[in-house]
Amino acid sequence: MKNKPLPPNYLEKVPVRSEKIGFSTDEKGIVTLEIENKGVFNRFAQLLFKKPKISYVHLDENGSFVWLQIDGERSIFAIAPLVEEHFGEAAHPLYERLAKFFQILESYRFIKWKE
């Protein structure tokens, strides 16, 4: 029986922001992601149902802080102490929350992983 390679540790992954996602920050540091709705279906929905060409996703204080830490060099494990330092006990359970946040970002294709 062959040994299966172990899956990489999720916390060691290095997130990279998608080039397709723009973002802005307000004076309080809250991040708004700007997603352009492209493609045939989106164009049809824009014409027929008056859907917007750009969708906006407003992150909360925690999500905004984490988003701004994504630089293509830091792993999730390296981002965690920064979050804990900034938010203290309010960040706990730290690793579970970060892992879930990055899973959501990945599922919407807001980030990819550095190879």
Tell whether the torsion through CA atoms of 23, 57, 90 and 98 is positive or negative: negative
pLDDT at position 2: 58
Residues 6+ apart with CB under 8 A from 106: 112, 113
Q: What is the pLDDT along the chain (115 residues), one digit of tens a residue?
A: 556 554 568 899 999 999 999 999 999 999 999 999 888 888 888 888 888 999 999 999 999 999 999 999 999 999 999 999 999 999 999 999 999 999 999 999 999 999 8
User: Structure pTM?
Assistant: 0.86
Strand-pairing partners, residue 34, are 22, 56
Phi, then psi, of 112 in degrees rounded to 5: -130, 180
